Amino acid sequence: MNLQVDVREEEQEKHVLLNGEVDVYTASLLKEKLIPLAEKPNAAIIVNLSNVNYIDSTGVGIFIGALKASDKSNSSLKLIGANARVKRLFEITGLDEVMDIDSDQREEV
């Protein structure tokens, strides 16, 4: 499956809407869009996962890289709208302990 990444920037807030699957085939597109946003100083990045049904380990690695980049640039990274399956992946890996993940909030970009 494909991945669509739509980015909307509003001053220091960056909204990223993902649509599709994040896997070994689509992770490079996500990395290309997300990491530069996370490297911008003092940015607030909100990634909407409500249209994502699957993330593999490559995709998880991209989110870890984005978290590290945002920490380094004094920015924040928040994931919203994760369904139960995707949220479970972050719980199993322990990333829900270090990342701001809000599965209840549905935000349109």
pLDDT recorded at residue 1: 66
- List Cβ neighbours of 96 (8 Å cut-off, separation of 6 or more): 87, 90
Residue 56 lies in a domain: yes
Range of the domain at 83: 3-102
pLDDT recorded at residue 106: 46
Q: Using 50, 70 and 90 to split pLDDT, how confident is the model at 92? A: very high
Taking residues 93-104, report their average pLDDT. 88
Please tell me whether the overall predicted TM-score, pTM, comes out greater than 0.85 for this model. Answer: yes
Residue 108 lies in a domain: no
pLDDT score of 84 more than 50: yes
Taking residues 63-79, report their average pLDDT. 97
CB atoms within 10 A of CB 42: 9
Tally of domains within the chain:
1
The token pair that represents 10 in the structure block: 């509003």
Taking residues 47-53, report their average pLDDT. 96
Residue 86 lies in a domain: yes
Computed over its alpha carbons, how large is the radius of gyration of the chain? 12
Residue 109 lies in a domain: no
What is the three-class DSSP state of 105? coil
Residue 51 lies in a domain: yes
